[in-house]
Structure 1
Amino acid sequence: MTHIAILGAGQAGAALAARLRALNFEGRITLIGEEEALPYQRPPLSKKYLLKEMSLEQLHLRPERFYAEKDITLLRGRRVTAIDTAGRQLRLDGESLAYDQLALTTGATPRTLPASLGGARAGVYVVRNLADVERMAPEFAPGRRVLIVGGGYIGLEAAAVAAKLGLKVTLVEAAQRILQRVAAPETSDYFRALHAGQGVEILEGMGLQRLEGGTAISVALSDGSRREVDFVVVGIGVMANDGLAAAAGLACENGIVVDAQGRSSDPSVWAAGDCTRFPYRGEMIRLESVQNAIDQAEAVAANMLGAGQDYVPKPWFWSDQYDIKLQIAGLNSNFDQVVVRPGAGQACSHWYFREGELLAVDAMNDPRSYMIGKRLIEAGRSPLPGQVADAGYDLKSLI
């Protein structure tokens, strides 16, 4: 009987296992995860779960009975230490597990502060899994002081949660502006103003020199100033979990390199989700998003069963901060123009173009603009910048 092993029990791994059964695969499926918890959603961890607006049960992707009903062997709290591609075996906890095909859905790991900066000391946290959030949850008490390191979406979401809970929040970003790597200055300006209105102190172009002190942490900054805080949350990006794959001899470069169908450099090994680097519009990219993890995993499941279809992503992302929902469609790489489309109240959208081609849309509390922009991008149609800027022009007429 054919055995498909899936290493990594997060969003991609769980989606891949479920899709195999939905496609009527009748062989063995083993889903292996390092955590004891059932496979769960990660985005709500640092938001609704930390705010106690969501229970652990609500985090679970599927109830435990699902895996039994679908005859999926779920190995929880098990760590794979090596992959033997020649022998098609996994080494875990002193045992060997043979496979016919292997899917790697190992995700990514947060970058941490160097120990030389004080990153290893108590009171410094990253946000990636349930254990991380459980450890830091008691720190989020009204009146406490928190330093957020990193002005990307993870850092800004953490700042929003802390401010909402009544903490005094300072956020430092080494780049010249928040969201510099992922968004236009217009989007940075929008969210800087949003956080300032909630009392968050944002320091841009500011390096972190060192974390010092005892119970209270003294933060030395690059301009010579100091801040006293009670704890620190680090949100400075993630690294693909490709170490096991690289050690097994698979091609890796900032992620596990796969072809358009999700196959690695070994024909019996596949990969999906945050850990992968795959072709898109003539370049190799990584997409760190829930939707890509699900869509790519489901495409890989089909290809493991012989579908032979290229995966073409339809990138979209979201971020919740206070009462603002940011929805992003497309990828804004190498844009040369940004057009602002006004909306009602705090709603607006920012449209990215390159040589007249619509690349992406950032929509803040503007779901209509988001959906229209997404459909236009997927259809390969580009409105004129003047049409976008005219709030009275019906962009839907272009679809």
Structure 2
Amino acid sequence: MASEERVVVVGGGLTAAAAVGSVRDAGFDGEVVVVADEPRLPHERPPLSKGYLLGSDAAGSVYPHDRRWYRRHGVELRLGARAVALDPAAHTIDVETAEETSELRYDRLLLATGARPRPFTGPGAGLRGVHVLRTLPDSTRLRTALRRGDRRVVVVGGGWIGLEVAAAARGYGNEVIVVVRGDEPLEAAIGTGLGSMFRGLHEQHGVTVRGGAAVTALRGERGRVAAVVLGTGEEVAADLVVFGIGAIPNVELATSAGLRVDDGIVTDASLRTSAADVFAAGDVAAVWNPVLERHLRVEHWANALASGAAAGRALAGEQVVLDEVPYFFTDQYDLGMEYSGYGDLAAGAEVVVRGDVPLTAASAPQTRREGIVFWLTPDGRVVAGMNVNVWDVNEQVQRLIRSGGVVSREELADPTVPLDALAGDAS
């Protein structure tokens, strides 16, 4: 690779950090420039709703590379700088800082612009005491507010972020109510049964979960939130409100440049966009998935890491294919969980439990919550697996999913049958 070439990475998250590490590991010795609108080093997001929010992780734990690493590897950081225009034909981006707007040429470009929290736009959205969680300052502000331990906290949204925030808030001794649109939290992600298990987990720790409820407004007193107003007209008292109602991919730069966008920047399996020499990865990228035969946008840590690393190799000139099985994890109270698989395929699959994992909220207090849950298709193939408080099995679960083999339901549920023996008939 010619040393006069320049690679530019737009973004300040884990995807960007993984990409610049990978492009150097792949032997690229040209210029590498990171353009990030946040003023801090590229960092990862999971600690912001987990260890950092809980106070168990230091702020420095969110940075995959420190500033010395970037200097040693010859990576130029343009922090607090925003890419405001992209010209794929000219191979340039316009970069805006507080002082000026300048043009930056690239030979290959990675868009790792991530996503932003979906905002609540109803009455009262601008009141003090209303939080979202995406950045380190967001997490710092929320942690400071929760630490008092005597607040009434309403979490709007029953996804992973919402439940992790609820667990952290209870850990600080706050009164917590989770408001969920569906019947159960996590219903869309892992189904009603396991969503019910998580409801039971939170209720066991003193959280109130309100299913089938929509928030229509916030009521304030003296400029500060005082209550959440539900669609029924009922008011739920609140000193703090945290919205975790989804994320919006940051596609504006790509859209204005004429790149193909459809719920994310559309790429092939090699992370190439519709523009020559422009790649996309991480939360913002809708990548072609050969298993599902459609484009898939994934917002989890493992995807940021894997797609960033693959993108770095692509920027260095290698031929890559992103074929990772989607993966995510969570830590809530005494429960740790890893999930691997394809949610689309799991939606119509049978849930098979190996071990002691409750599928109802009522049975949750009587169980250890320790086992593996599999999603098995009617033709006997595992399309997803979730290990709960069981460790060092995720690789085996992923191999089982990748094999496409036909598996006996009875053997899948039997803890005495080794996972490695379940690859089955892949015909």
Q: 5 Å matches for 1:251-290?
A: 251-280=260-289, 281=291, 282-290=293-301
Q: TM-score scaled by structure 1?
A: 0.96
- Cα distance in 1 for partners of 2:376, 2:279 equals 34
- Cα distance in 2 for partners of 1:325, 1:310 equals 30
- Cα distance in 2 for partners of 1:275, 1:327 equals 23
* Residue 360 of structure 1: aligned partner: 384
Q: 5 Å matches for 1:1-399?
A: 1-93=4-96, 94-114=101-121, 116-140=122-146, 141-214=148-221, 215-280=224-289, 281=291, 282-333=293-344, 334-343=347-356, 345-355=368-378, 356-367=380-391, 370-399=394-423
Q: 1:26 to 1:233 in 2, by over 3 A?
A: same
- Cα distance in 2 for partners of 1:216, 1:9 equals 31
- Secondary structure at the aligned position of 2:60 is classed as helix
Q: Give the letter aligned to residue 83 of structure 2.
A: V
1:193-216 per-position Cα deviation (integer Å, ceiling 9, x unaligned): 100000000000011121102135
Aligned pairs, number = 398
- Where in structure 1 are there 5+ consecutive unaligned residues? none
Q: Give the letter aligned to residue 353 of structure 2.
A: V
Q: Deviation at 1:64?
A: 0.6
CA RMSD of aligned residues (A): 1.6
Q: Deviation at 1:374?
A: 2.0
Q: Give the letter aligned to residue 235 of structure 2.
A: R
Q: Give the letter aligned to residue 283 of structure 2.
A: D
- Cα distance in 1 for partners of 2:419, 2:143 equals 44
- Cα distance in 1 for partners of 2:262, 2:238 equals 38
1:172-203 per-position Cα deviation (integer Å, ceiling 9, x unaligned): 01112211111122211211110000000000
- Secondary structure at the aligned position of 2:38 is classed as coil
- Cα distance in 1 for partners of 2:35, 2:392 equals 40
- Secondary structure at the aligned position of 2:169 is classed as helix
- Cα distance in 1 for partners of 2:91, 2:412 equals 54
Contact 2:114 2:283 in 1 (8 A): yes
Contact 1:186 1:350 in 2 (8 A): no
Q: Give the letter aligned to residue 241 of structure 1.
A: N
- Secondary structure at the aligned position of 1:50 is classed as helix
Contact 1:256 1:275 in 2 (8 A): yes
- Secondary structure at the aligned position of 1:74 is classed as strand
1:230-265 per-position Cα deviation (integer Å, ceiling 9, x unaligned): 010011111111111011100000000011111110
Moved more, 326-335 or 379-388: 379-388
Q: Deviation at 1:38?
A: 1.4
- Cα distance in 2 for partners of 1:370, 1:304 equals 30
- Cα distance in 1 for partners of 2:406, 2:207 equals 37
Q: Give the letter aligned to residue 342 of structure 1.
A: G
- Cα distance in 1 for partners of 2:348, 2:372 equals 15
Q: Deviation at 1:369?
A: 5.1
- Where in structure 2 are there 5+ consecutive unaligned residues? 357-366
- Cα distance in 2 for partners of 1:178, 1:71 equals 45
* Larger RCO (alpha carbons 8 Å, 6+ apart): 2
Q: Deviation at 1:359?
A: 0.5
Q: 1:96 to 1:153 in 2, by over 3 A?
A: same
1:287-346 per-position Cα deviation (integer Å, ceiling 9, x unaligned): 111111121122222223332232212221101101100110111313331112224822
Q: Deviation at 1:371?
A: 4.0
Q: Deviation at 1:223?
A: 3.0
State the identity as a percent: 32
Q: Give the letter aligned to residue 174 of structure 1.
A: R
Q: Give the letter aligned to residue 127 of structure 1.
A: L
- Cα distance in 1 for partners of 2:418, 2:30 equals 51
- Cα distance in 2 for partners of 1:134, 1:164 equals 16
Contact 2:109 2:315 in 1 (8 A): no
Give 4+ residue runs of structure 1 displaced > 4 Å after superposition: none
